Structure 1
Amino acid sequence: MRYRTLDDAINADIFKKGPVAVIMAEDATEIVSSLRRAGRLGFGCILLLAHDDIAVPPEDEARVHRIAYNVHAEGAMMRAMNTLIAAAPGIWFHYCFNGEYLFFPFCETRDVRELIAFHTEERRYAFLSYVVDLYAGDLSRNPKAVSLEEAFLDRAGYYALGRPDPANHGHPKDRQLDFFGGIRWRFEEHVPAERRRIDRIGLFQAKAGLEMRPDFTFNDEEYNTYSCPWHHSATTAVCSFRAAKALKSNPGSRYDIHDFRCHYSVPFQWKSQQLMDLGLMEPGQWV
């Protein structure tokens, strides 16, 4: 089904079957694989936000709600998500861009509804996600840095800093950290400071008054925490070609980068166990 605006989609009452995956297509790269990934994980409703000139095979478009949207406007994702949050309190949402893929512990044998059910039992209503940079291993064969068959990631080089609280004299916020690593860290001279973090609240439950902020955190600080106060909570990962794609398409970095691989690059296995083994995802009490 196609809709001219986000409001048209909301008025059509499309949220009857959740949870909802929102995929914003910034270009034509790997849209189909992102849509199919969301379907395999068990999302009952998939929204594709894209310009009208983006082509999607009819068999894939038939399974999603396609919405015409200005994806290149400033804060496009934030504005779209805040509109959806206000329209659908109680619904769980995942959001990502094309060329990004959600992983959670044991996702090969369990679907996202099982994950959400367990998280809700623990009185948790949001998942911290690490955005794990993926990149093609051979840029001569894949000059846009995107290859599902030859994807690599960094197995090391990740770190976290306390997230300062301006309202508390800059002291760190409770159970909140700013995470860094991947190619955004290795090529930080080409990445604006406000875009170097690799944490995102990638799966959450909408509620009245909740708002996403420009840095992809929320106005409810508990949503931004990595765990509950009493034990570790499950986290997720969003494996993403977005940074690599941008670094190889932007004129300021395109000619300075000849290979994304380094001595701790490893092939991405497309399995949740690899991400857990590398410490990029946490099962918490969900075993």
Structure 2
Amino acid sequence: MRYNDLADFLNRGKQALAKGPVAMILVEDATEVDSTIQHHLQLGFKSVLVFATEGLEPTPENEDNIHLIPFDMSADNALTTAVNSIIKAAPGIWLYYCFNAEYLFYPFCESRTVGEMVAFHTEERRSSILTYAVDLYASDLNQSPDAVSLENAFLDKSGYYALAREDAANNHQPKDRQLDFYGGLRWRFEEHIPWERRKIDRIALFRAQKGLELRPDHTFNDEEYNTYSCEWHHNITAAICSFRVAKALKHNPGSTYDIETFHWHNSAKFEWNSQQLMDLGLMEPGQWF
């Protein structure tokens, strides 16, 4: 379905938020919009909300599950405005957000739906799932000058690390069960990445509740949502395999001429399956077998 704007969707599209999980795809440019939508539909999301600047709207194959919402992604606070509006309208529903040319993978996603995963996670008394934005990039920038290639996508197989997340309101003591994660292109080309955008962790899968708000740094105002696991054992984590940083580095005039290739000795061809990501330690199943 197509809507006039976000307010129109919140007025007429409430049925799309009646049952989750619901995916929100924030479209920043025309790159791989259709493949992003189809990937998430195949994972089992009940509805896919596509926030796109006018002129970038895709032509959906399944009008019943896809909801096109004209939205200016270049506006200040576009991310938090879009996501927090849906949180407020859908209390109790599991939500997910990503950008175009980003693809969610979770343990055993080839044989289990995203609904099955969040149902298990809910039984573990958890309302959020930590996800890592794993950078993808084309192997040959001469053939793919925008750094995007689904057929020849590569990722870094090492170079990831975590630091304690300090609590500025508590003498900069480490926060309980919270870490800042780094790696990928944001680490290797950090001179081109503002420091506040170098983290790769997001709480991209979560259950909406009254008063919950996403902050610009991909954390929530409820600190328990920002934890990587519960207190008694490890939980599921997931990965968002993303071309977003690679295409930004090649689009930005300040970095494009400094980068002839993203390939290095720790590059590995992306196999588009969850087992590779688990083998590399980029996500884990927790107690879900």
Shared fold per TM-score greater than 0.5:
yes
Q: Which runs of 5+ in 1 are unaligned?
A: none
Letter in 1 for 2:25: I
The answer for the alignment partner of 1:240 in structure 2 is: 242
Q: Aligned partner of 1:212: which letter?
A: L
Tell me the CA shift for residue 17 of structure 1: 3.2
Of 120, 131, 135, the residue aligned with 1:133 is 135
Letter in 1 for 2:271: Q
Match of 1:24 in 2: 26
CA distance 1:232–1:107, change in 2 (3 Å): same
Residue 175 (structure 1) aligns with: 177
Say whether the 8 Å CA contact 1:131–1:199 is kept in structure 2: yes
**Structure 1: which 4+ aligned runs deviate by more than 2 Å?**
57-63
**Counterpart of 1:118 in 2: which secondary structure?**
helix
Deviations 1:216-273 (A, max 9, x none): 1001001000011000000011000000000000000010000001100000000001
Instruction: Provide the C-alpha distance between the structure 2 equivalents of 1:58 and 1:206, rounded to a whole number of angstroms.
Output: 26
Cα distance between partner residues in 2 of 1:171 and 1:211: 24
Partner of 1:8: 8
1:183-214: CA deviation from partner (whole Å, max 9, x where unpaired): 11000000000000000001000000101111
Q: In the alignment, is residue 41 of structure 1 matched against residue 43 of structure 2?
A: yes
TM-score normalized by structure 1?
A: 0.98
Deviations 1:132-164 (CA, angstroms, capped at 9, x unpaired): 000000000000000000000000000000000
The Cα RMSD (Å) is: 1.0
The partner residue of 1:57 within 41, 44, 59 is 59
Aligned to 2:214: 212
The one-letter code sitting in structure 2 at the alignment partner of 1:6 is: L
Secondary structure of 2:98's partner?
Answer: strand
Q: Cα deviations across residues 3-59 of structure 1 (Å, max 9, x unaligned)?
A: 111121121212123211000110000001100011000000100000121152352
Partner of 1:78: 80
For 1:61 and 1:262, locate their aligned partners in 2 and report how far apart those are by CA, in whole Å: 42
State the match for 2:188 in structure 1.
Answer: 186
- Aligned counterparts of 2:107 and 2:221: Cα–Cα separation in 1: 27
Mean Cα deviation higher: 69-78 or 41-50: 69-78
| Alignment match, 1:147 | 149
| Secondary structure of residue in 1 paired with 2:185 | helix
Please give the secondary structure, in 2, of the residue aligned with 1:117: helix
Is this contact kept in 1: 2:235–2:285, CA < 8 A? yes
Residues in 1 aligned to 2:112 and 2:260: alpha-carbon distance in whole angstroms: 39
Match of 2:200 among 190, 198, 201: 198
* Equivalent in the alignment of 2:280: 278
Aligned residues: 287
- SS for the counterpart of 1:9 is helix
Q: Which whole-Å CA distance do the structure 1 matches of 2:285 and 2:276 have between them?
A: 13
Once the two structures are overlaid, the 10-residue window that deviates more, 175-184 or 48-57, is 48-57
Is the Cα contact below 8 Å between 2:19 and 2:93 reproduced in 1? no
Contact 1:32 1:60 in 2 (8 A): no
3-state SS of paired residue (1:80): helix
C-alpha spacing 1:180/1:85, structure 2 compared with 1 (3 Å): same
Match of 2:102 in 1: 100
TM-score under structure 2 length normalisation: 0.97
Q: Percent identity?
A: 62
The DSSP-based 3-state class of the residue aligned with 1:197 is: coil
CA–CA distance in structure 2, aligned partners of residues 94 and 157 of structure 1: 27
